Amino acid sequence: MFDFHVHTDFSEDSSAKMEDVIKGAIKAGLKEMCFTDHMDYDFGGVGLDSDYFLFDIEEYFAQIANYKEKYKDDISIKIGIELGLQPHILELCSKDIQSYPFDFAIASIHTLERIDLVSKKYFENKTQKQAYEIYFKDLLYIVNNFNDYNVLGHVDIIKRYGGYDSILPLSEYYDIVEAILKKAIENGKGIEINTSGIRYKLGDYHPSQDIVKLYHQLGGEIITMASDAHSPQYIGYDFKNVLNYLKDIGFKYINSFDKMNPVFHKIDDLLI
């Protein structure tokens, strides 16, 4: 198994020590894991500094290099990053990816209209549909104007916040999601199956199954498995089910990444 979305205390919202995370991954039986700590320029946290969600990339590479060597007989460790993107910071993010030898980059959105989503302030004075539309419009802008990433992170994250009673059906925003996925596929990008949706009791992964099916129908073939764990016990969470779920949809492979290039692994071989 390959977990390509894992946080440590390099992310402001995690207190997990890197070494404990590696031990957790070994315990979970993973063959490979990829650290993907948060880099969110101009995060927009209410009452927080704009550099709140940044980390020291040099220090990150140094620590991971050390653990890579220490645990080389037990697990393969990759160096990734989760970019919190917004239309006005794309150049800054490109610079980081082009300046360091990352294996993998996730393109995520955590901030809209310069307000972080967790704070809920973004959702004030908007209908649910308006809140979704602004999110997908920004995501479309990003796939059209940014290329320094490998997969789109938690594509329908907007369903998690806002405190709505129900999730808007895909039919309400089908055209824009189709445009986003088409562009991502055209540019050789993938999506992740982020199992944190189950932990957040949303009843499905991120993205929802109808979006994963649409990605497959449109010819998308690049998929990573993502626990989005912020503490060691959630690494590899629900991955066996994810493999069966992807197989049922029609996917034959899942991916890991090395130096920003996809590596394909047969799902059937992983299910043995």
Cβ-based nearer residue to Zn ion, 32 or 192: 192
- Determine, following the binding rule CB under 5 A, whether residue 227 of this chain makes contact with Zn ion: no
CB of 10 to Zn ion, least distance (A): 12
Residues within window 74-93 making contact with Zn ion, judged by CB under 5 A: 82
In 3D space, the residue among 171, 139, 176 whose CA is nearest the CA of residue 154 turns out to be: 139
Lookup: tokens for 40: 């969110």
Laid out side by side, the sheet with 2-6 consists of 2-6, 32-39, 76-84, 104-108, 151-152, 190-194, 223-226
CB of 252 to Zn ion, least distance (A): 26
x-or-dash pattern for Zn ion, window 108-137, by CB under 5 A? x-----------------------------
CB of 249 to Zn ion, least distance (A): 23
- Determine, following the binding rule CB under 5 A, whether residue 192 of this chain makes contact with Zn ion: no
Sign of torsion, CA 22 28 34 38? negative
- Rounded distance between C-alpha atoms, residue 135 and residue 120, angstroms: 14
Beta strands in the chain (DSSP E): 2-6, 32-39, 76-84, 104-108, 111-112, 115-116, 151-152, 190-194, 223-226, 253-258, 261-266
CB of 72 to Zn ion, least distance (A): 25
**Are the C-beta atoms of residues 161 and 121 closer than 8 Å to each other?**
no
- Rounded distance between C-alpha atoms, residue 205 and residue 219, angstroms: 20
Cβ-based nearer residue to Zn ion, 115 or 269: 115
Cβ-based nearer residue to Zn ion, 233 or 244: 233
Number of residues that bind Zn ion (CB under 5 A): 3
Q: In degrees to the nearest 10, what's the CA dihedral of 50, 97, 93, 49?
A: 0
CB of 128 to Zn ion, least distance (A): 21
- Determine, following the binding rule CB under 5 A, whether residue 228 of this chain makes contact with Zn ion: yes
x-or-dash pattern for Zn ion, window 31-70, by CB under 5 A? ----------------------------------------
CB of 109 to Zn ion, least distance (A): 8
CB of 171 to Zn ion, least distance (A): 25
Stretch that binds Zn ion, among 21-29, 163-171, 228-236, 260-268 (CB under 5 A): 228-236
- Rounded distance between C-alpha atoms, residue 189 and residue 209, angstroms: 18
Cβ-based nearer residue to Zn ion, 149 or 186: 149
- Determine, following the binding rule CB under 5 A, whether residue 224 of this chain makes contact with Zn ion: no
Strand partners, 206: 194
- Rounded distance between C-alpha atoms, residue 7 and residue 60, angstroms: 12
Query: Under the rule (CB under 5 A), what is the footprint of Zn ion?
Result: 82, 108, 228
